[in-house]
Structure 1
Amino acid sequence: MAAPDTLSAPGTDELPEHADAVVIGGGHNGLACGAYLARAGRSVVVLEAREQAGGCASTVDAIGARVNICNCDHTMIRASGIIEELDLASHGLRYLDVDPMLIGVGWADEPVFIQWRSIERTLDGLARVDPTAAAAYRRYLDVALPAARLVLAVQCGRPTTPSIVATVVARQKLRGSRVLLDWPRRSLVDVLTSFGLPSWVIAATHTVGPAVWGLGPDAPGTGLGALGLAIRHLVGVGRPVGGSGAVPGALAACLRAHGGRVVTGARVTGLDVEAGRARGVRLADGGRVTAGAVVNATDPHALLVDWLDGVPAAAKLRARWAARPADDGYESKLDAVVTALPTPRAVLDLPEDVLPAALHHVPTTIVSPTPEQQIAASAALKRGLIADRPMFFLNTPSVLDETMRPGLPGGGDGAPPPRPGAVGGTPAATEAHLLSLEVLWTPWALEGGWGDPAVPWGWLERFASICAGGSGFLESVRDWRAMTPPDYEREFFLRRGYVPSFPDGVMAALLGRRRELSRYRTPVAGLYLTGGATFPGAGVWGASGRNAAATVLAAR
């Protein structure tokens, strides 16, 4: 299997003096916006502050391997239509299906939850453990699937499209609409308990849903997150060959094929506004680019608070954003090159006809505390503490995708971080794999700070404690690195390490609340917003970039 040529958005183009549209930020949404604008015949330049475009969807060289900055599992972009509309396959993008889609284990003796793309296979697995859980899951799907189809129809289009509601009603005959009105008012625990689902399924649903938003399972408004499992059955899970960076790489290639430019190492520090209209941007090196339209694909805070200071048309909007408290980042990621694959003991105990051994390391394994422990962890997060039993996402991308396999004997980009308490040398390796461990609710303002490497190394130790032969797994670690919230702030210009995400639900977007985030435009003519902070939200999706491009094109 050969890796595509566009593993990430490579190289940089010449900076123009003028463009029809300038996009600030070369993450996948900014690149998607630029690709759609370029395809429509506009001259476009995407400006990226880092030396490589792609943002948090990037795949980078580190520890002697190709490492994804964030999780490699993609769902919503495969349902959005963007891949087909931009013909990203012709620009090197190819997906591998992940099935089963996830393996959920607990910290104690909870049953293993295996979610397959097939509903019946998922139900069969649940029935082997607990027939009442299987019956409850079927009751859940009977209600959730129509609502999930409704959400997909709405969130893959512009909420401003006049016919969207009529289209959805015609397609669904209002099936699922009650859920969209009811579940967002409730908590995830309340919604899923009402179907009789056991706590170990609820915990897993929370880990892959509202926990990623930084919210506890009992938080009001998290109920809509209960749709996540149903959406996975409809869409499936995939991984791009060569890593997540293949998505921004293909988008950049598409943009360039239509005459657009991607300029890296170009940090925007200001906005030029004349007569109430955006006219271009200023760069850190003193350069300028004038443009008929400016689209911000980064955190809106700097744009709306710092760069619009003194612009009368934006005074009310700026005051509202200036009054918002800063959000703190809470996700970390540890990557390691290993020569032994860790397997939770609960997974090893499964019969071969429930989960074949060959599939143990194909999907992401999530480790979830109980709902009660998740609620306690939410309170600890606010105090700057990491729970003793965190929520983990662990996968080994190189098992499914051989292009992600580290080279041997290989070496990192410098000396590996120390393994606290480790003694002896590194064991001889016959086959190396890349291991990815995402850890939720690791506060930016960690009590005691982030200077001690024993903190991230401890996450590997905690995972090893529930695995067969855990000590051997730890000894097999050849190299590793951790990205914590302060690292994301320093390397990706994310304020306080926080990855912006659209704060509202589907109904709020349809009603036009926080119009700058759900309508992609600002009170300043020619100034638009896109990115994870805008509808439909964060994750590798791209719908926000497409929607923002459509808004720009409709205004010209």
Structure 2
Amino acid sequence: MTADVTAAGVRLPVPDSLPPRADVVVIGGGHNGLACAAYLARAGRSVVVLEARGQAGGCASTVDAIGARVNICNCDHTMIRASGIVEELDLAAHGLRYLDVDPMLIGVGWADEPVFIQWRSIERTVDGLARVDPAAADAYRRYLDVALPAAKLVLAVQGGRPTTPSIVATVVARQRLRGANVLLDWPRRSLVDVLTSFGLPSWVVAATHTVGPAVWGLGPDAPGTGLGALGLAIRHLVGVGRPVGGSGAVPAALERYVRAHGGRVVTGARVTGLDANGGRVHGVRLADGRRVTAHTIVNATDPRTLLVDWLAGEHAAARLRRRWAAAPAEDGYESKLDAVVTALPTPRAVAALPEDVLPEALRHVPTTIVSPTPDQQIAASAGLKRGLIAERPMFFLNLPSVLDQTMSPGPGAHVLSQEILWTPWALAGGWGGRALPWGWLEQYASICENGPELLASVRDWRAMTPPDYEREFYLTRGYVPSFPDGVMSALLGRRRELSRYKTPVAGLYLTGGATFPGAGVWGASGRNTARTILGRH
């Protein structure tokens, strides 16, 4: 039995005790691991989730820092709202409630580029483009005519357990293959190639890249990034929402669901190895020497550590282990600054907009993205490989407490969150001091009409860089794993350990952002893995 305690105004569960055995052990208490555990517990399996940190939730967490509640990563959620998980598990009954974000994003540049505002409404988005550039509005309509059927197809595919027959059946039944040509064509092309083929202007291309392939660490000219062009269409279909209380409300609701169905979530339990022999898993070993016996293990952390380090000597996985060991380890490349401020920053380009284009009351609701030009993004991609940060980085800026009063740090104050893309773990010259992170806030202030007031209003702040994510979240080299392939890879069953969740070792499965359908607060990977396990047993 668990109890709740109050910490910083938030109800936190007391960690469960560690059982000696379970039907299923899930390694990693991020939202995918918890989603997998939730479905398995609902099916009657005895499940224990082992989380190395003192709090479950992983990078989807909301934590106490700088006298406020701050999200570890961006607070905007899209794909989880299309996954069906919230409804299937009735997470509303476990405390999850979403607030709609509309407009969904505001895109500005570093110079005099027009402002791109994407609303949930297609017509309102197109009307805004037409006020600036009628040709851009026409190009956006041409893009959506092609992209919307493909976006619906992607949403249908991610919702099915990815055996080839089930995906194909889903596609045929729901979409009658409309948009399939896009899934065959766009993954072979670059984002720039796809979007410019419709005549979309560079400032729309740049914004689409920032919220798409740039988050994957790829430049807009990289082959395979063309599928990222579907992001604009998907947001029109699904919308953007923020959980009340921060992004961490999702893993918190999942954790409560797991416990309500007899599962256990044990924090401070760092797994350091597997018990496996004869081509089958038998349990896990913890850093403190304890063991848990189980015949089904689900890894929801970096698969590289498990496959390369923990399966050494296991003959059944020898070929898979060699393939992973031969591939270079990935480096993290994202940082985040959080500050408590009393001034709301407004970019000059946004402040100049007429009230009927963007009402003043909505200017601080969505995330504002700051994008260099596509050519500058391409140059920054080359610099990233050399450990360099661009002079004009890509930023995500939001003020979660404007929309969600539960995130307020106090009267007259707000939380400002700034994500900075392409800040390499292996930074040339090394990481040190606070001057560089503070400089990112100064850079944003330089394009705001009240920049000096913003900087003077900062009460407290902190920065999380790739080395910080490595140290605090056990992310090797600060890297958050992400599924490396597209929808077609899942359709064709390539890299089966990632697209089908199964390994050659009986009872050993993978889930998480490194597996299909990918990273972000989504949860479909966790659900799909649970379905795969239940389908085999």
Partner of 1:142: 145
Change (3 A) 1:443 1:328: same
Cα displacement string for residues 57-113 of structure 1 (whole angstroms, at most 9, x for unaligned residues): 000000000010000000000000000001100000000000000000000000000
**Is residue 467 of structure 2 the alignment partner of residue 476 of structure 1?**
no
CA contact 2:30–2:57 (8 Å) conserved in 1 = yes
The whole-number CA distance in structure 1 between the counterparts of 2:360 and 2:333 is 33
Partner of 1:534: 515
> C-alpha offsets along residues 222-276 of structure 1, whole Å, 9 cap, x if unaligned?
0000000000000000000000000000000000000000000000001001322
Q: Say which of 369, 374, 377 aligns to 1:371.
A: 374
SS at match of 2:199: coil
Give the alignment partner of residue 60 of structure 1, picking from 63, 75, 79. 63
Q: Choose which of 217, 226, 245 in structure 2 pairs with 1:242.
A: 245
Aligned residue runs from structure 1 range 488-527, under 5 A = 488-527=469-508
Indicate the residue corresponding to 1:294 in structure 2.
Answer: 297
Cα offsets for 1:391-413 (capped at 9, x unmatched): 000000000000000036xxxxx
**Residue of structure 1 equivalent to 2:329:** 326
Alignment of 1:153 onto 2:153: no
Q: What's the counterpart of residue 165 of structure 1?
A: 168
| CA positional deviation for 1:450 | 1.2
Which position in structure 2 is the counterpart of 1:77?
A: 80
SS in 2 for 1:477: coil
In structure 2, C-alpha distance between the alignment counterparts of 1:83 and 1:9, rounded to whole Å: 21
Shift of 1:295: 0.4
> Residues of 1 paired with 2:67 and 2:173: CA distance?
53
Residue identity in the other structure for 1:127: A
- Whether contact under 8 Å (1:361, 1:395) holds in the other structure is yes
1:401 to 401, 404, 407: 404
- Return closer, same or farther for 1:537/1:463 CA change in 2, 3 Å cut-off: same
Q: Indicate if the aligned counterparts of 1:211 and 1:217 stay in contact, CA closer than 8 A.
A: yes
Matched to 2:80, the amino acid is I
Partner in structure 1 of residue 339 of structure 2? 336
State the TM-score, normalizing by the size of structure 1: 0.94
SS for the counterpart of 1:53 is: coil
Tell me if structure 2 keeps the 8 A contact 1:9–1:245: no
Matched, 1:543 2:524: yes
Within-5 A mapping of 1:106-145: 106-145=109-148
Aligned with 2:41: secondary structure?
Answer: helix
1:304-323 deviations in whole A, cap 9, x for unaligned? 01110000001000000111
Q: Tell me by how many angstroms 1:6 deviates.
A: 11
Which amino acid letter does the alignment assign opposite residue 20 of structure 1? D
- Counterpart Cα distance in 2 of 1:6 and 1:133: 47
Counterparts of 2:268 and 2:203 in 1: how far apart (Å)? 46
Q: Which residue of 2 aligns with 1:262?
A: 265
**Aligned-partner Cα distance in 2 for 1:135–1:154:** 29
Distance in 2 (CA, whole Å) between partners of 1:167 and 1:44 is 30
The within-5 A match list for 1:458-477 is: 458-477=439-458
- In structure 2, C-alpha distance between the alignment counterparts of 1:140 and 1:16, rounded to whole Å: 54
SS in 2 for 1:96: strand
Q: Is the 8 A contact 2:25 2:297 kept in 1?
A: yes
Partner Cα distance (1:209, 1:368) in 2: 12
| Structure 1 gap ranges (5+) | 409-430
Structure 2: unaligned runs, 5 residues or longer: 1-5
Alpha carbons of structure 1 residues 74 and 511: separation in structure 2 relative to 1, 3 Å: same
Distance between the aligned counterparts of 1:156 and 1:450, measured in 2?
41
Q: Is the partner of 2:295 in helix, strand or coil?
A: strand
Question: Within 1, Cα distance between the matches of 2:278 and 2:433?
Answer: 52
- Name the CA shift for 1:247/1:210 in 2 (closer, same or farther; >3 Å): same
Whole-angstrom CA distance in 2 between matches of 1:519 and 1:192: 31
Which residue is 1:416 aligned to? Answer: none
CA distance in 1, matches of 2:56, 2:164: 30
User: Is the counterpart of residue 40 in structure 1 residue 43 in structure 2?
Assistant: yes
**SS at 2:432's partner residue?**
coil
Deviation (angstroms), 1:168 = 1.2
Match of 2:200 in 1: 197
Task: Quickly say closer, same or farther: Cα 1:89–1:341, change in 2 above 3 A.
Answer: same
The answer as to whether partners of 1:11 and 1:264 remain within 8 angstroms in 2 is no
Does the 8 A contact of 1:192 with 1:202 survive in 2? yes
Q: Distance in 1 between matches of 2:471 and 2:134?
A: 49
What is residue 450 of structure 1 aligned with on the other side?
A: 431
Task: Using the TM superposition, give the Cα deviation of residue 469 of structure 1 relative to its aligned residue in structure 2, in angstroms.
Answer: 1.7
2:15 to 1, 12, 17: 12
Mapped to 2, the partners of 1:7 and 1:176 lie a distance apart of 45
1:51 alignment partner, one of 32, 54, 60: 54
Letter in 1 for 2:448: C
Q: Which amino acid aligns with 2:409?
A: P
List per-residue Cα deviations over 1:511-532 (Å, max 9, x = no partner). Answer: 0100000111100001100000
Secondary structure at the counterpart of residue 547 of structure 1 = helix
Contact 1:343 1:467 in 2 (8 A): yes
Report what 1:232 is aligned to. 235
Contact 1:183-1:224 within 8 A present in 2 as well = yes
Paired amino acid for 1:337: V
CA displacement, residues 449-504 of structure 1 (integer Å, 9 cap, x when unaligned) = 11121100000000000001201110000000000000000000001000000000
Structure 1 residue 216 corresponds to structure 2 residue 219: yes
Secondary structure class of the residue paired with 2:301:
coil
Determine helix, strand or coil for the equivalent of 2:172: helix
Tell me the amino acid that sits aligned with residue 507 of structure 2: G
- TM-score norm. by structure 2 comes to 0.98
Residues 1:388 and 2:391 are matched in the alignment: yes
Alignment partners' CA distance in 1, 2:7 and 2:147? 37
Q: CA deviation at 1:292?
A: 2.0
Letter in 2 for 1:538: A
**Cα offsets for 1:431-464 (capped at 9, x unmatched):** 1000000000001011121112110000000000
**Cα deviations by residue, 1:143-173 (Å, 9 ceiling, x for unpaired):** 0000000011001222116233123123222
Work out the CA distance in 1 between the residues paired with 2:70 and 2:208. 26
- 1:360, 1:383 → 2: CA distance? 36
CA deviations on 1:36-71 (whole Å, 9 max, x unpaired) are 000000000000000000000000000000010000
**2:181 aligned with 1:178:** yes
Q: Give the Cα separation in 2 of the matches to 1:391 and 1:87.
A: 36
Alignment correspondent of 1:27: 30
Please state how far the C-alpha of 1:8 moved relative to its aligned partner.
8.0
Matched-pair identity in %: 84
- Secondary structure of the equivalent of 1:163? helix
2:273 and 2:182 map into 1 onto residues whose CA distance is 43
SS of residue paired to 2:186:
helix
Contact kept, 8 Å, 2:213 with 2:228, in 1: the verdict is yes
Correspondence for 2:3? none
SS at match of 1:269: strand
Cα distance between partner residues in 2 of 1:129 and 1:111: 7
> Are positions 1:92 and 2:113 aligned together?
no
Could you tell me how far apart the structure 1 residues matched to 2:108 and 2:13 are?
38
Aligned mates of 1:382, 1:527 — CA distance in 2:
34
Root mean square deviation of aligned Cα: 1.4
Do the aligned partners of 2:277 and 2:314 also contact (CA within 8 Å) in 1? no
